[in-house]
Amino acid sequence: MAIYKIKSFQTQLFGPWTVHRNSLDAVVSAFLFLSLWFLCYDISWAIESDLVWSSFLGGSFKDFGYDVAVDNSGVYVTGHTESADFPTTAGAFDETLNDNGDAFATKLNPMGSNIVYSTFLGGGGWDEGYGIALDGGGGVYVTGCTRSVDFPITSGALDTILGGPSDVFVVKLEAMGGALFFSTLLGGSGDEVGFRIVAQRSGKVYVTGITESVDFPGTEGEIVTNHRGGKDVFVTRFNTLGNALDYATLLGGVENEFGWGIDVDGSGSAYVTGYTESADFPTTINSFDATFNGFSDVFIARLNPQGSLLEYSTFLGGSFRDAARSVVVDGSGSAYITGYTNSFDFPTTPEAFDTAQDFSNYNAFLAKLTPDGSDLVYSTFLEGEEKESGYGITVDDSSNAWVVGFTESPFFPTTPGAFDESHNGGRDVFVARLNGKGSSLDYSTFLGGMGDDYGWDIFLHGVDEAYVTGYTLSADFPTTAGVFDETHNHSEDAFVTRLCLRGLVPVDPTGPVEALPVIYMLHQNYPNPFNATTEICYAIPKDGHVVLSIFNSLGQKVRTLVDSEQRAGEHVIVWNGRDNMDQDVASGLYFCRMRTGKFTQTVKMMLVK
- If you ran DSSP here, which 8-state letter would residue 508 be given? P
**What percentage of the chain carries pLDDT values higher than 90?**
70
- Which of 46-55, 147-156, 331-340 is the least confident region? 46-55
User: Is residue 97 domain-shared with residue 174, that is, in the same domain?
Assistant: yes
Q: Strands 401-407 and 74-81: what pairing?
A: unpaired
User: Is residue 518 domain-shared with residue 461, that is, in the same domain?
Assistant: no
- Which of 78-92, 143-157, 172-186, 536-550 is the least confident region? 536-550
The answer to whether position 21 is within a domain reads: no
- pLDDT for 2 equals 35
With beta carbons less than 8 A apart as the criterion, state whether 481 and 13 touch: no
Q: In 261-414, which residue ranges form alpha helices assigned H by DSSP?
A: none
Picking from 484, 503, 522, the residue at the C-terminal end of a domain is 503
Picking from 503, 535, 553, the residue at the C-terminal end of a domain is 503
User: Is residue 428 domain-shared with residue 522, that is, in the same domain?
Assistant: no
Tell me: pLDDT of 504 over 90. Answer: no
- pLDDT for 359 equals 60
Tell me: pLDDT of 120 over 70. Answer: yes
- If you ran DSSP here, which 8-state letter would residue 530 be given? B
The answer to whether position 45 is within a domain reads: no
Cα separation of 48 and 510, whole Å? 25
User: Is residue 485 domain-shared with residue 346, that is, in the same domain?
Assistant: yes
User: Is residue 445 domain-shared with residue 386, that is, in the same domain?
Assistant: yes
Name the residue with higher pLDDT: 394 or 511. 394
User: Is residue 334 domain-shared with residue 202, that is, in the same domain?
Assistant: yes
The answer to whether position 218 is within a domain reads: yes
User: Is residue 431 domain-shared with residue 549, that is, in the same domain?
Assistant: no
The answer to whether position 474 is within a domain reads: yes
**Residues forming beta bridges with residue 501, ordered by sequence position:** 49
Read off φ and ψ for residue 108, nearest 5 degrees. Answer: -100, 155
Name the residue with higher pLDDT: 290 or 360. 290
- If you ran DSSP here, which 8-state letter would residue 323 be given? E
Cα separation of 601 and 594, whole Å? 5
Q: Give the structural domain span for 584.
A: 3-14+507-607
User: Is residue 413 domain-shared with residue 532, that is, in the same domain?
Assistant: no
User: Which residue, among 543, 579, 586, 545, has the nearest Cα to 561 in the 3D structure?
Assistant: 579
With beta carbons less than 8 A apart as the criterion, state whether 211 and 188 touch: yes
Per-residue pLDDT tens digits for 458-498? 999 987 889 999 999 999 999 999 999 999 998 899 999 99
Tell me: pLDDT of 31 over 60. Answer: no
The answer to whether position 33 is within a domain reads: no
Per-residue pLDDT tens digits for 179-222? 999 999 999 999 999 999 999 998 999 999 999 999 999 888 77
Cα separation of 604 and 356, whole Å? 7
Name the residue with higher pLDDT: 403 or 530. 403
Please name the residues in contact with 11: beta carbons below 8 A apart, sequence gap of 6 or more: 18, 509, 513, 515
Which whole number is the average pLDDT over 589-594?
91
User: Is residue 441 domain-shared with residue 570, that is, in the same domain?
Assistant: no
- Which of 24-33, 70-79, 562-571 is the least confident region? 24-33
Domain of residue 561, CATH code = 2.60.40.4070
- pLDDT for 502 equals 62
Please name the residues in contact with 222: beta carbons below 8 A apart, sequence gap of 6 or more: 247, 248, 249, 250, 307, 308
Tell me: pLDDT of 5 over 60. Answer: no
Which whole number is the average pLDDT over 52-71?
97
With beta carbons less than 8 A apart as the criterion, state whether 171 and 112 touch: no
The answer to whether position 38 is within a domain reads: no
Tell me: pLDDT of 560 over 60. Answer: yes
Kindly indicate the confidence band of residue 516, based on its pLDDT and cuts at 50, 70 and 90: low
Per-residue pLDDT tens digits for 295-323? 999 999 999 999 999 999 999 999 999 99
- pLDDT for 40 equals 35
User: Is residue 443 domain-shared with residue 541, that is, in the same domain?
Assistant: no
Per-residue pLDDT tens digits for 407-463? 999 989 999 889 999 999 999 999 999 999 999 999 999 999 999 999 999 999 987
Name the residue with higher pLDDT: 533 or 182. 182
Domain of residue 372, CATH code = 2.120.10.30
Kindly indicate the confidence band of residue 107, based on its pLDDT and cuts at 50, 70 and 90: very high
User: Which residue, among 472, 384, 405, 357, has the nearest Cα to 260 in the 3D structure?
Assistant: 405
- pLDDT for 543 equals 86
- Strand-by-strand arrangement of the 3-7 sheet: 3-7, 569-575, 534-540, 521-522
Element counts in the chain: helices (H) and strands (E): 2, 38
- pLDDT for 25 equals 44
Name the residue with higher pLDDT: 56 or 48. 56
Cα separation of 437 and 153, whole Å? 46
**What percentage of the chain carries pLDDT values higher than 70?**
88
User: Would you say the C-alpha torsion 340, 341, 345, 346 has a positive or negative sign?
Assistant: negative
Instruction: Give the burial string for 529-563 (b: 16+ CB within 10 Å, else e).
Output: ebeeebbbbbbbbbeeebebbbbbeeeeebbebbe
The answer to whether position 100 is within a domain reads: yes
Read off φ and ψ for residue 159, nearest 5 degrees. Answer: -145, 120
- pLDDT for 347 equals 96
User: Is residue 406 domain-shared with residue 525, that is, in the same domain?
Assistant: no
| DSSP string for 443-461 | EEEEE--SS-EEEEEEEEE
With beta carbons less than 8 A apart as the criterion, state whether 588 and 577 touch: no
- pLDDT for 21 equals 35
Per-residue pLDDT tens digits for 74-105? 999 999 999 999 999 999 999 999 988 999 99
User: Is residue 445 domain-shared with residue 548, that is, in the same domain?
Assistant: no
Tell me: pLDDT of 225 over 80. Answer: no
| Amino acid letter, residue 292 | F
Q: What is the mean pLDDT of the chain?
A: 87
With beta carbons less than 8 A apart as the criterion, state whether 444 and 383 touch: no
Please name the residues in contact with 24: beta carbons below 8 A apart, sequence gap of 6 or more: 511
The answer to whether position 183 is within a domain reads: yes
Picking from 441, 476, 503, the residue at the C-terminal end of a domain is 503
Cα separation of 608 and 588, whole Å? 7
- pLDDT for 27 equals 40
What's the number of domains the chain is made of?
Answer: 2
Per-residue pLDDT tens digits for 248-291? 999 999 999 999 999 999 999 999 999 999 999 999 999 999 99
